[in-house]
Structure 1
């Protein structure tokens, strides 16, 4: 090539869509399963504790040793639940952030917040009651397949994506159960710690068991949400 030869522009390669975080998804599902198992153990502990609190005629038919053992079982269950929730929360937020970054790469003009909020939104008090849900809705709207019969509609820049007749209930179910179980479990632990009479203690144990069921349902809904969102995103990747 001579010094006077015109330089030809290098052809642009098509942007490559990031792959779905399969390993992170597997870790999230595994840890959510561990959360479910810890909830089942707490339900078992609650059932055993409730059977000891047989209130009839003003007397409880349980020795102090039996109740101490039941209470210790409950404490172990709460320890397992707490450990599983912390580890699962860390990995889930990592998956959540990665999926949001991928969604931005897929449709950069259809997301309402920066990628940093996919992590930060979980740690801002009160703000964390709805902002992660909005981010999840945006990711879902980007990844959900549009109905074949629906006309393509390009949203304005900075506005959330809208898909006609798209199904969003998995996002709402997961978030509703997650927030409800979190708030309810905080109340039940408070009620259990402050119970002084046998009837109050028995009521608190029943409430704790209801909270375990809510937490279990929230973990199951989270598994459905994460697996389905990742599967929808993979349809957009080569």
Structure 2
């Protein structure tokens, strides 16, 4: 789904540069809106499952209630940092034992997502093709990085699940 959002951004970039008619913009914008809504639903289902898995791996690392997995995206102001925090806590809980996972990928994705939101707001106030192109380009990169985060976190959780439960070191001695 994130790949389709990225493809929609590419189509929007192409349409703005090659076919800047009102009809083309309306069709591409409508398609992008449908793709974004469908992707948001699938993404939130995935994130909910990842968060539940993270509780199994390390419940103490999950500082926020499950309701924030979805609510954090929709509550004004906190939606600028709660979703990132939820992803990072699941990321840390899913990291292989003894091998901490860095946060650079999540941080770059989240930064670009926020920049994408802000530039999208600018495009509603600007008729500039350059501003719209920049917004689409940032959103495109954010969508690709979001897909990479999804794939990596899913893989980390799969590998951790295959390891099975870890025994306390006292039980081994």
| TM-score (normalised: structure 1) | 0.65
Bigger CA radius of gyration: 1
Deviations 1:136-193 (A, max 9, x none): 1111111122556xxxxxxxxxxxxxx4xx311111111111111011111112212x
The alpha-carbon distance between structure 1 residues 93 and 142, as it changes in their structure 2 partners (threshold 3 A), is same
Which of 94, 100, 103 is matched with 2:51 structurally?
A: 100
Cross-structure match for 1:153? none
Give the structure-2-normalised TM-score: 0.88
Q: What is the 5 A alignment of 1:23-102?
A: 31-49=1-19, 70-102=21-53
Distance 1:228 1:114 in 2: 23
Does 70-79 or 225-234 show the bigger shift?
A: 70-79
Structure 2 partner of 1:231: 155
> 1 CA distance for matches of 2:32 and 2:146?
16
In structure 2, how many angstroms separate the alpha carbons of the residues matched to 1:146 and 1:179?
31
The correspondence for 1:138, drawn from 89, 102, 106, is 89
Residue number in structure 1 paired with 2:62? 111
- Partners of 1:114 and 1:130 in 2: CA distance: 15
1 CA distance for matches of 2:118 and 2:48?
Answer: 24
- The whole-number CA distance in structure 1 between the counterparts of 2:140 and 2:11 is 11
Distance 1:147 1:109, change over 3 A: closer
| 8 A contact 1:46–1:206 mirrored in 2 | no
Q: Secondary structure at the match of 1:230?
A: helix
What is the aligned counterpart of 1:167 among 102, 106, 121? 102
Aligned CA-pair RMSD:
1.4
Q: Which runs of 4+ in 1 moved over 4 A?
A: none
